[in-house]
């Protein structure tokens, strides 16, 4: 009776061990899958877009003064860009985007983070400039559609910086895009950008640098 009991116990311990080992492997597999398919593309997406994400909030923080269109109207009698697009905002925003990009180049160079996209002086400049050119372009069309400064324009308000930054990069330095952008990272950029945009604008509204929370 006791021998049978021991055999049954050993069997149970063994099968428990098998189940444990199996689920451990599954957890490990899940971990590797989530790192490969989610975490790395997420990290890459943020790393690629940082020089493009920073210019807008910096323009909102430090912008103001002379508008880029110098107060002039377009042929339709409406402002070319409007008072929301200023020379100071544009310059400070671009400089901030390039600044964060330089820090990223230094970090990847110093710590050998090979799994992250490798920014270059050109890529960070194009991303920072493109983000605010996209924003400027959006404002130009916003005025043409008769929308006042600060009014909501869903999709355009959120994706102007992505379109501007990535199109400029694609036109001037396509090889950088092919070498560093993956489809999962691109999809994450499309999902993440409106979320970040909203969060940053709500913060901007509550600290008083934005007149509207969008």
Interface positions with ligand CTP (CB under 6 A): 59-60, 63-64, 82, 84-86, 89-90, 132, 135, 139, 142, 149-150, 210
Residue 85 vs 119, nearer CB to ligand CTP:
85
C-beta of residue 118 within 8 angstroms of C-beta of residue 173: no
CB of 150 to ligand CTP, least distance (A): 4
Q: Which is nearer to ligand CTP, 156 or 185 (CB)?
A: 156
* Of residues 26 and 66, the one with the C-beta less far from ligand CTP: 66
| Nearer to ligand CTP (CB atom), residue 42 or residue 137 | 137
Minimum CB distance to ligand CTP, residue 25 (Å): 50
Nearest-approach distance from CB 119 to ligand CTP, in angstroms: 23
- Give me the least distance between CB of 109 and ligand CTP, in Å please: 31
Nearer to ligand CTP, 186 or 205 (CB): 205
CA 155 to the chain's CA centroid = 15
**Do 99 and 122 contact (CB within 8 A), yes or no?**
no
In angstroms, the CA 149 to CA 204 distance is 16
Which residues make Cβ contacts (< 8 Å) with residue 31, sequence separation at least 6?
Answer: none
- Minimum CB separation from ligand CTP for residue 99, in Å? 17
Smallest gap from residue 50 Cβ to ligand CTP (A): 18
Sign of CA dihedral 62, 66, 70, 72: positive
- CB nearer to ligand CTP: pick between 42 and 61: 61
């Amino acid at each position: 009776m006791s021998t049978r009991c021991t055999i049954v116990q050993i069997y149970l311990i063994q099968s428990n061990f098998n189940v444990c080992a199996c689920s451990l492997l599954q957890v490990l597999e899940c971990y590797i899958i989530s790192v490969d398919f989610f975490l790395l593309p997420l990290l890459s997406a943020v790393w690629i877009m940082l020089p493009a994400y920073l210019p807008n909030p910096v323009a909102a923080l430090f912008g103001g003064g002379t508008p880029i269109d110098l107060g002039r109207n377009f042929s339709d009698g409406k402002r070319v860009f409007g008072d929301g697009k200023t020379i100071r905002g544009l310059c400070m925003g671009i400089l901030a985007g390039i600044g964060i990009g330089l820090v990223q180049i230094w970090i990847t160079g110093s710590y050998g983070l090979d799994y992250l996209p490798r920014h270059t002086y050109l890529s960070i400049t194009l991303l920072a400039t493109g983000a605010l050119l996209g924003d400027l372009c959006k404002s130009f069309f916003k005025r043409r559609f008769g929308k006042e400064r600060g009014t909501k324009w869903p999709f355009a308000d959120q994706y102007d910086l992505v379109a501007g930054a990535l199109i400029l990069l694609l036109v001037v330095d396509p090889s950088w895009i092919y070498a560093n952008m993956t489809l999962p990272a691109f999809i994450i950029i499309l999902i993440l950008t409106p979320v970040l945009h909203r969060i940053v604008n709500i913060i901007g509204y509550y600290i008083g640098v934005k007149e509207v929370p969008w």
